[in-house]
């Protein structure tokens, strides 16, 4: 209610002194009026506008006017205020509120511009340019404090030289968009500034996490949503958890004795899968060469027969096949591995089945698309990143495990000094000992709040819409002159992979020269896009395929016009290559 | 400038209609005026106050009055607004701004109360109570969306039933306090919503991270601040990195071939050290039993001779001593291991030296206290969590490595589809392949901004002040009736460990019965503290010592009066036990 109160008092105050009140003019709005070289006039204007923002407590009547005298320019000029003047400083409340409101102004302005297609996606500079220092923006740290005025300038400049990942024409990552509810949730999380390891200091967040994980397990299809899980710092760590838990399930003695207590253990994952499975293999002591890559079909989906053949081959060598990762939504092609067929093989040979749904897990929220993950309920563990397809702010990744207690068994160290058993509440709610982290960031609240605000149906609409948009793109370019699709047929996820062939290459015969030239097209177009700041889309090679564009849609601000814009832009920039 | 503009227009508007303007009354401020059962009168008042908050763009003159007509109650009543009405919805800008300003109101109100000693630290409820649902606060998720009014209620209630970790009387964790600059930084980070893995999408943050890590390495004392590092999701993961990098340095083939390519590797860490070293040993395939705990003196510091003896013993068994962790600031006692003496032994036997300064690293910022880490410049790697002693919001933990390139060598998988070499900028700024994460949260900005705002000297003052306060506590209780110190002499860090002996136990002879009763005192007092909500402090047993209180200070809002309050409260609650 504070804010409404502040406004009412500000309004009351200005009823008395409206002539003194100068709204900021357009030029100084654009020029960053808090720059150190403000003229005195500008400073006066700023000071008066902040003065009017003030509200003493318990003085909320319209007629109150003596209050006004409390606020003088010296109190509201940020160039004379420093961090030490803010709370908990004596009389720090007013400058604190002023400062936070000013920050809020910067942020809401940024939010508005993010959705405004007339703004750039980015204002590109090379590292050396930013390091040398842009006007008024110096990244170096010093011994002495800077004024709050400079801090506010730094906040503006940080956003100015950054990338608007929520812009409707930012297509560069699997995570994009700026969800307003999620943003509010993340602001609240920052303000609460607590830690997930015990119920004691995060009672509400710990319960939200439990309820949300249960709901996710229900969507996976595990009976009654039973099982376990955690939010972790990203899909790579979630995948790492799955490997750790699989090892603990089959060879619990490794926890105590190390890898030498087990036979040579082998993990399987597709050649199109995310590199984090191999990274986990290297980190956890399996070794990269014991992570065997499975062949895929032309659409990037694991060939089950190849899995079975490789399991048999490994067993013949005397090694122990432990774990299979099936990807639900690969990074580049957006392919969904055939989970049921893989699950049959895992059951036959007694392997742990993990489904990496970091990217594709969100499709479980859609009645229309969830069939792409058929069989996921047979998995032993699932990675699912709401921060990707579901538009939750970064970071928000869940590892879900079907067997209850196994996360605890795998990771607990029973540190009595952190997790006391003799508390007055039910300490099974303390999650810290299940994690490989000690402190753990609160990633749940924004997601929980979005789920409340959108409902399951809201997520479903979001996902269906993104997939429709990518279908629109696919239909638009699949037969268009100058485009070649990387794989045939409609994509399974929002990933649309294609080459743009500039006019100068269209008549070239296939061969190395054409390949070499085509390989350079996407990087060149991308560099020009970034320099003009109009849009961003990813590219990469894959296997023996030269660089191609990978278009993805996960931002709910995107419309067909943005898809059209991207294609126009590629053609505009690539026409002369 | 948006916000000032909004205010000026609101002020201008109310100059015309001040009689319509009702500030919220005290009762509805306390009752949560956004509850669903608002009376119509209340809703009218709310609607009118929001209406006055509106500002159309480019209509900023004091005389403008027709603008007012644009905002009617139906547009500003959150009970009829839903997430789908916010941006990117058509005409979504106004409700978005209103909603975010309302959230901001909730948050700034929370910030003000956090520093207000007349508020409680927490409003304790058992898990089952919160799960059953408090009035108007239901944690369950549903298929259908909730109104924004309910979402705002949920935000208020989430804070209401949480724990004020920034309250001057919250002493429960090593991380406490609510730094206003850090908070602003975290809000901005959430709004920017990007990811640290490439310069491409986080140009400013990537450079800030590099500069800040260099500065930290300079403070450690590595020549020219050379070396490498990353911010990671907490001290446990930072410590895990140190073990991985040590293994890669001595046995790089483990990355490819797994642990079977190396001899039996042994890690050493003190019995007082954080459990994350042992956890890393278990996770990375060394096995818990190959993490050898070192004996400490009565103050909790490693005895170097014990380290050397254990290294020799391990070698005699044919195992390979790999890694020593020296703790700079243990979790319970706040002890600093003698780094120089440990470094001598590491050099003699060719072991990797890691310093876990998660808790004590901040003392490097203080000319008065940095000697406690003498020898840290000889370490091969250092963990340092600015989110602990330096008051940076959670999470902010750095792993710093003296040898450049080794993080990359250890962790890179060269995923061409994520880290393209053919970009237009210097791709050595892409950090993703150094990390075990793929996406990585932006933890740097809040810390960078605080450093700018406080300067190195500001951190120094903060640290000196916290240590003074703990000296004050130590001097106050060391000879006070009813207190026993857990170890003799002035603590090295802010940790003050003590038993409170209730009057009924003071005359009991030493023995099992007294121990058993004393063991229950701290948990009982803690439970009563939490139920009364007045303060929070940690307790735990350690070795053969029964439960004792561990007091720590890292919050810059704490004063001597808060220390006095804690002692009074312990005595008030514990008097009759």
Please tell me the distance from the alpha carbon of residue A7 to that of residue A81, in angstroms, as a whole number: 23
Which phi-psi region, left, alpha or beta, contains residue A228 (left: φ > 0; alpha: ψ -120 to 50)? Answer: beta
Domain ranges of chain A: 2-164
DSSP code per residue over A253-281 = HHHHH-GGGS--EEEEEETTS-THHHHHH
Task: Assign B383 to helix, strand or coil.
Answer: strand
Specify the residue for token string 């005895």. B303
- Tell how far CA B365 is from the center of its chain: 18
DSSP label at B541? E
What is the rounded CA–CA span in Å between residue A99 and residue B111? 12
Any idea of the CA torsion for A540, A543, A544, A547, to the nearest 10 degrees?
0
List CB contacts (< 8 A) between A437 and chain B. 233-234, 236-237
Number of neighbouring beta carbons within 10 Å of residue A547: 22
Q: Which residue from B161, B394, B416 is facing A204, i.e. has the nearest CB?
A: B161
Contact B359, B239 (CB under 8 A): no
Element (H, E) at A361: none
> In this structure, what token pair is assigned to residue A346?
């895992």
Cβ(B109)–Cβ(A1) below 8 Å: yes
Comparing A61-70, A113-122, B306-315, B547-556, the range with the smallest average pLDDT is: A61-70
Per-residue pLDDT tens over the stretch A19-32: 333 333 333 333 33
The length of chain B is: 577
What six digits make up the tokens of A343?
A: 């699950």
Strand ranges across the sheet with B291-294? B228-232, B397-401, B381-384, B352-357, B320-327, B265-270, B291-294
C-alpha–C-alpha distance, residues A519 and A508, integer Å: 14
State the burial class of residue B428 (Cβ atoms within 10 Å of its Cβ: 0-12, 13-18, 19+).
Answer: exposed
With CA atoms as reference, report the closest residue to A351 among A384, A379, A324: A324
Beta-carbon separation of A285 and B215 below 8 A: no
Cα A19 to Cα B517: distance, rounded to the nearest angstrom: 72
Query: Token pair of B163, please?
Result: 């724990």
How far apart (Å, rounded) are the C-alpha atoms in residues A7 and B23?
9
| Partner-chain residue, chosen from A62, A411, A542, that has the shortest CB–CB distance to B21 | A62
B260 touches chain A (CB under 8 A): yes
Please give the sequence-ordered ranges of beta strands (E in DSSP) within B50-118, or none if there are none. none
| Chain A contact present for B131, CB below 8 A | yes
> Which tokens go with A61?
């009547």
Q: To 10 degrees, what angle do helices A304-316 and A339-349 make? A: 20
Do the Cβ atoms of A8 and B28 come within 8 Å? no
A205 and B162 in contact by Cβ < 8 A? yes
List of residues 6+ apart from B309 with CB closer than 8 A: none
Q: Which of B7, B178, B181 sits opposite A193 (nearest CB)?
A: B178
Task: Give the end-to-end CA distance of chain B in Å, rounded to a whole number.
Answer: 58
Q: Do A49 and B8 touch (CB under 8 A)?
A: yes
Q: Which residues of A touch B146 (CB under 8 A)?
A: 452-453, 455
Interface test with A, best of B92, B111, B283 (most A CBs within 10 A): B283
The A residues from 492 to 531 touching B (CB cutoff 8 Å) are 520, 523, 526-527, 530-531
Q: How far is B345 from chain A (nearest CA, A)?
A: 25
| Yes or no, beta carbons of B438 and A234 under 8 Å apart | yes
Which residues 437-466 of B have a C-beta within 8 angstroms of A? 437-441, 445, 448-458
Give the mutation candidate from B122, B141, B165 for the A interface (greatest A CB count, under 10 A). B141
β partners of residue A548: A540
What element of type H or E holds A445? Answer: helix A444-477
Cβ-based contacts of A150 with chain B (< 8 Å): 452
- Chain A residue numbers touching B191 (CB-CB < 8 A): 107, 110-111, 159, 178, 183
Rg (CA), chain A: 28
* Residue A253 near residue A261 (C-beta atoms within 8 A): yes
Measuring CA to CA, which residue among A485, A484, A509, A500 is closest to residue A575?
Answer: A500
Q: Which of A18, A162, A180 is closest, CB to CB, to B100?
A: A180
**Of B23, B234, B436, which has the smallest distance from its Cβ to A438's Cβ?**
B234
So what's the ipTM on this one? 0.89
CB-based contact (8 Å) between A398 and chain B?
no
- Cα separation values, A302 from A298, A326, B58, B406, Å: 10, 8, 57, 34
Q: Which residues pair with A228 in a beta bridge?
A: A401
Tokens 């110190």 correspond to B485
Q: B246 with B254: CB under 8 angstroms?
A: no
What are A412-453's pLDDT values in tens digits? 987 666 677 888 899 889 988 999 999 999 999 999 999 999
Distance from CA of A320 to the nearest CA of B (A): 14
A271: nearest CA partner in chain B: B415
Is pLDDT at A134 greater than 90 in this prediction?
no
pLDDT digits (tens, 9 = 90+) for A181-240: 999 999 999 999 999 999 999 999 999 999 999 999 999 999 999 999 999 999 999 999
Q: Shortest CB distance from A186 goes to which of B106, B190, B550?
A: B190
Candidates A140, A192, A219, partner chain B, best to mutate (most B CBs within 10 A): A192
The C-alpha atoms of residue B566 and residue A180 are separated, in whole angstroms, by 41
CB-CB neighbours of A551 under 10 Å: 25
Q: Which long-range contacts (CB under 8 A, 24 or more apart) does A514-523 make?
A: A515/A546, A516/A546, A518/A546, A518/A547, A519/A546, A519/A547, A520/A547, A520/A577, A520/B422, A521/A547, A521/A574, A521/A577, A522/A547, A522/A548, A522/A549, A523/A547, A523/B420, A523/B422, A523/B423, A523/B424
Length in residues, chain A = 577
A-proximal residues of B, 225-254, CB under 8 Å:
233-237, 240, 244, 254
The minimum CA-CA distance between A100 and chain B, rounded to whole Å, is: 7
Cβ neighbors of B311 (< 8 A, separation 6 or more) are: B268, B321, B345, B349, B351
pLDDT at A550 over 90: yes
Q: Do A437 and B547 touch (CB under 8 A)?
A: no
> A536-542 and A170-171 as β-strands: parallel, antiparallel, unpaired?
parallel
Of the partner residues B258, B331, B418, the one whose CB lies closest to the CB of residue A285 = B258
The token duo for B55 is 């500002």
DSSP string of B454-503? HHHHHHHHHHHHHHHHHHHHHHHHTTSTTEEESSSS--SSS-EEEEE--H
Contact B188 A106 (CB under 8 A): yes
Q: Which residues does A157 contact at the CB level (< 8 Å), separation at least 6?
A: A32, A134, A136, A137, B204
With vertex at residue B301, the alpha carbon angle to CA B299 and CA B302, rounded to the nearest 5 degrees, is 145
Nearest CA in chain A to B147: A453
Strand partners, A549: A498, A539
The burial of A30, by beta-carbon neighbours within 10 Å (0-12 exposed, 13-18 middle, 19 or more buried), is given as: exposed
Distance CA B19, CA B122 (A): 39
> In this structure, are strands B483-485 and B381-384 parallel, antiparallel, or unpaired?
unpaired
Give the number of other CB atoms < 10 A from CB of residue A179. Answer: 28
Q: Which residues pair with A163 in a beta bridge?
A: A122
Q: Please tell me if residue B532 touches chain A, with a CB cutoff of 8 Å.
A: no
* Per-residue pLDDT, B76: 66
pLDDT tens over chain B, length 577 residues:
233 333 333 333 333 333 333 333 333 333 332 333 333 443 443 333 433 433 333 333 333 333 332 223 335 699 999 999 999 999 999 999 999 999 999 999 999 999 999 999 999 999 999 999 888 899 999 999 999 999 999 999 999 999 999 999 999 999 999 999 999 999 999 999 999 999 999 999 999 999 999 999 999 999 999 999 999 999 999 999 999 999 999 999 999 999 999 999 999 999 999 999 999 999 999 999 999 999 999 999 999 999 999 999 999 999 999 999 999 999 999 999 999 999 999 999 999 999 999 999 999 999 999 999 999 999 999 999 999 999 999 999 999 999 999 999 999 987 666 677 888 899 889 988 999 999 999 999 999 999 999 999 999 999 999 999 999 999 999 999 999 999 999 999 999 999 999 999 999 999 999 999 999 999 999 999 999 999 999 999 999 999 999 999 999 999 999 999 999 999 999 999 9
Residue A67 reports pLDDT greater than 90? no
| Residue A72 touches chain B, beta carbons under 8 Å | no
Which residues from B are below 8 Å from A33, CB to CB? 1
Can you tell me whether residue A326 is helix, strand or coil?
A: strand
Please list every residue in chain B whose beta carbon sits closer than 8 Å to the beta carbon of residue A199.
Answer: 127
Q: Which of A15, A86, A234 has the CB atom closest to B440's CB atom?
A: A234
At B158, list the tokens.
């989430």
Q: Which CATH architecture has domain B195-443?
A: 3-Layer(aba) Sandwich (3.40)
């Amino acid at each position: 209610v504070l804010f409404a109160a502040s406004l009412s008092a500000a309004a009351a105050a200005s009823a008395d002194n409206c002539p003194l009140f100068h709204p900021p003019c357009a030029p100084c709005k654009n020029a960053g009026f808090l720059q150190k070289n403000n003229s005195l006039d500008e400073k006066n204007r700023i000071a008066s506008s902040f003065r009017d923002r003030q509200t003493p407590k318990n003085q909320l009547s319209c007629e109150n006017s003596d209050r006004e005298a409390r606020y003088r320019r010296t109190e509201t000029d940020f160039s004379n205020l420093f961090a030490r003047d803010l709370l908990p400083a004596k009389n720090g409340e007013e400058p604190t509120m002023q400062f936070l409101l000013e920050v809020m102004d910067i942020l809401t302005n940024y939010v508005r511009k993010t959705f405004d297609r007339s703004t750039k996606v980015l204002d590109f500079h090379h590292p050396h340019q930013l390091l040398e220092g842009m006007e008024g923006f110096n990244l170096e740290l010093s011994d002495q404090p800077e004024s709050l005025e400079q801090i506010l300038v730094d906040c503006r400049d940080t956003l100015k030289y950054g990338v608007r990942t929520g812009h409707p024409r930012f297509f560069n990552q699997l995570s994009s968009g700026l969800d307003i509810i999620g943003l509010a949730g993340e602001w609240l999380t920052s303000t609460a500034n607590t830690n997930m390891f015990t119920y004691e200091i995060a009672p509400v967040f710990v319960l939200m996490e439990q309820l949300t994980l249960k709901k996710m397990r229900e969507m996976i299809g595990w009976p009654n949503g039973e099982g376990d899980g955690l939010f972790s710092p990203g899909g790579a760590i979630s995948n790492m958890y799955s490997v750790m838990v699989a090892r603990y399930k089959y060879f619990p003695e490794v926890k105590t004795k190390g890898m030498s207590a087990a036979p040579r253990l082998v993990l399987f994952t597709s050649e199109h899968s995310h590199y984090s499975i191999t990274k986990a293999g290297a980190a956890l002591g399996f070794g990269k060469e014991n992570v065997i890559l499975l062949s895929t079909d032309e659409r990037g989906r694991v060939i089950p027969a190849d899995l079975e053949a490789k399991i048999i081959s490994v067993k013949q060598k005397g090694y122990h096949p432990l774990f299979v990762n099936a990807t639900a939504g690969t990074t580049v092609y957006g392919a969904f591995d055939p989970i049921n067929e893989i699950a049959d093989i895992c059951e036959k040979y007694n392997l742990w089945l993990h489904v990496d749904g970091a990217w594709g897990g969100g499709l479980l929220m859609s009645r229309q698309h969830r069939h792409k993950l058929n069989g996921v309920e047979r998995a032993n563990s699932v990675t699912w990143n709401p921060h990707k397809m579901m538009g939750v702010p970064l970071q928000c990744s869940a590892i879900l495990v079907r067997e209850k207690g196994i996360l605890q068994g795998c990771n607990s160290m029973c540190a009595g000094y952190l997790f006391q058993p003799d508390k007055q509440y039910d300490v099974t709610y303390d999650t810290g000992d299940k994690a490989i982290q000690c402190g753990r960031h609160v990633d749940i609240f924004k997601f929980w709040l979005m789920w409340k605000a959108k409902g399951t149906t809201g997520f479903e609409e979001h996902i269906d819409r993104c997939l429709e948009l990518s279908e629109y793109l696919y239909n638009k370019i699949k037969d268009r002159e100058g485009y070649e699709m990387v794989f045939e047929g409609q994509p399974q996820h929002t990933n649309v992979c294609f080459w743009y062939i500039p006019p100068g290459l269209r008549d070239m015969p296939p061969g190395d020269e054409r390949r070499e030239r085509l390989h350079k097209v996407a990087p060149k177009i991308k560099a020009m896009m970034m320099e003009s700041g109009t849009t961003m889309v990813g590219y990469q090679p894959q296997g023996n395929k030269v660089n191609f564009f990978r278009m993805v849609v996960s931002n709910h601000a995107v419309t067909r016009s943005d898809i059209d814009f991207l294609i126009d832009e590629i053609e505009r920039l690539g026409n002369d290559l």
